[in-house]
């Protein structure tokens, strides 16, 4: 069953009426409703285009968080073969919010890592809603070290509201683990590509996205803080999240203009949740287009390229 966002309610009514007509026709074969249903379908398709033509930053946040968007596991299952998951940080525990291991991408050996939110109540609790603890970032560091040792490109899939802020995580060195993971990204002598597939929240995302190339799906978001968190701090009112989303410049379009990301990956009309396979295919093509030139670069050139990329951030403005 399609889950509709708040701003999609008018669309839900039209698509619901079309489905009701078809249900009546299925119950009574003598009824011919296809003409009326087709008219409603066209009206719904036109409305969908209008709704998604100029999404506000807050609406982009809502789409990025849609529960039906393909998640990290979906991308790994569809795009990678011979995936062998590796678990644990060899220190404390295995964090199920972070998944990763050895795999092949278009028959090229790689290491893939990512944050997994889960797709139902049980898996979301198990995955901690994609919010990694210190052991998750230390697992990612271990996988990146493995990739560097054997000369394997690293593909990172970012989808997290942010690092887990719980007391235990802080006691086990959450900020240190994030900093070490970010540092390890910058030190890699192999190609690293990061894709923001949904939410890119705070340092929890940066720890996986300090890469040679960073791309975002069209309706994903990437920000230092959530709009609700920003509104709570600045205005003491989480309901001002719409204003905060505007101010944060968290959309793929703004971040591309600012030079924070390198590529925007188009989504199907209505968002990745309406056609997950099309979104996954687009991400696969984007990874290949970025990986091919990077694979020809020497380790020192890759490190220098990554260093220059991040030192240059801030040199562009939105008017540039």
Q: Which residues contact 18 (CB under 8 A, 6 or more apart)?
A: 37, 40, 41, 44
Q: What is the DSSP code (8-state) at residue 95?
A: -
CB atoms within 10 A of CB 45: 15
3-state secondary structure of 154: strand
Quick: pLDDT tens for 279-316: 999 999 999 999 999 999 999 999 999 999 999 887 77
Spatial separation of the C-alpha atoms in residues 72 and 116, rounded to whole Å: 5
Q: Which residues contact 5 (CB under 8 A, 6 or more apart)?
A: 59, 62, 63, 66
Residues recorded for the chain: 320
Apex 104 CA angle, 283 and 207, nearest 5:
60
What's the confidence (pLDDT) of residue 38?
86
pLDDT band at 27 (very low <50, low <70, confident <90, very high): confident
What's the confidence (pLDDT) of residue 20?
84
Quick: pLDDT tens for 198-222: 999 888 899 999 999 999 999 999 9
Give, for 100, the enclosing helix (H) or strand (E). strand 98-105
Q: What is the DSSP string of 27-76?
A: H-TT---HHHHHHHHHHHHHHHHHHHHT--HHHHHHHHT-TTS--HHHHH
Residue % of the chain over a pLDDT of 90: 79
Apex 224 CA angle, 221 and 230, nearest 5:
95
Spatial separation of the C-alpha atoms in residues 142 and 125, rounded to whole Å: 24
Per-residue pLDDT, averaged over 254-270, amounts to: 94
Instruction: Specify whether the backbone of 269 is left (phi greater than 0), alpha (psi in -120 to 50) or beta.
Output: beta
Spatial separation of the C-alpha atoms in residues 29 and 158, rounded to whole Å: 49
What's the confidence (pLDDT) of residue 319?
56
Burial 115-139 (b: 16+ CB within 10 A, else e): bbbbbeeeeeeebbbbbbbbbbbbb
Spatial separation of the C-alpha atoms in residues 148 and 228, rounded to whole Å: 38
Structure-token pair, residue 32: 């011919």
What's the confidence (pLDDT) of residue 89?
87
8 Å CB contact between 66 and 2: no
Per-residue pLDDT, averaged over 258-276, amounts to: 94
Quick: pLDDT tens for 83-129: 999 998 888 989 999 999 999 999 999 999 999 999 899 999 999 99
Quick: pLDDT tens for 37-95: 888 889 999 999 999 998 999 999 999 999 999 999 999 999 999 999 999 888 898 99
Spatial separation of the C-alpha atoms in residues 297 and 221, rounded to whole Å: 30
Per-residue pLDDT, averaged over 139-163, amounts to: 96
Structure-token pair, residue 215: 């791309």
């Amino acid at each position: 069953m399609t889950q509709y966002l708040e701003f999609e309610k008018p669309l839900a009514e039209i698509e619901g009426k079309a489905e009701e007509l078809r249900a009546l026709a299925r119950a009574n074969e003598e009824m011919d409703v296809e003409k009326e249903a087709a008219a409603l379908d066209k009206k719904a398709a036109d409305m969908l285009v209008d709704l998604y033509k100029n999404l506000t930053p807050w609406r982009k946040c809502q789409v990025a968080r849609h529960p039906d968007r393909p998640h990290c596991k979906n991308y790994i299952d569809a795009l990678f073969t011979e995936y062998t998951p590796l678990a644990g940080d060899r220190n404390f525990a295995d964090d199920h919010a972070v998944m990763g291991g050895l795999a092949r991408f278009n028959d090229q050996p790689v290491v893939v890592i990512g944050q997994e939110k889960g797709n139902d109540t049980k898996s979301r609790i198990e995955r901690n809603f994609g919010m990694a603890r210190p052991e998750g970032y230390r697992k990612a560091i271990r996988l990146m070290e493995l990739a560097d040792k054997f000369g394997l490109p690293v593909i990172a899939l970012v989808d997290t509201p942010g690092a887990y802020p719980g007391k235990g995580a802080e006691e086990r060195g959450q900020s240190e683990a994030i900093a070490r993971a970010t540092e390890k990204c910058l030190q890699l002598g192999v190609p690293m590509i990061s894709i923001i597939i949904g939410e890119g929240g705070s340092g929890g995302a940066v720890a996986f996205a300090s890469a040679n190339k960073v791309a975002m799906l069209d309706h994903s978001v990437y920000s230092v803080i959530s709009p609700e968190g920003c509104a709570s701090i600045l205005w003491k009112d989480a309901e001002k999240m719409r204003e905060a989303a505007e101010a944060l410049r968290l959309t793929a379009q703004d971040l591309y203009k600012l030079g924070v990301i390198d590529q925007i990956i188009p989504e199907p009309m209505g968002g990745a949740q309406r056609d997950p396979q099309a979104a996954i295919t687009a991400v696969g093509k984007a990874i290949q287009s970025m990986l091919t030139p990077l694979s020809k670069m020497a380790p020192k050139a890759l490190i220098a390229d990554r260093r220059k990329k991040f030192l240059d951030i801030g040199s562009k403005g939105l008017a540039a």
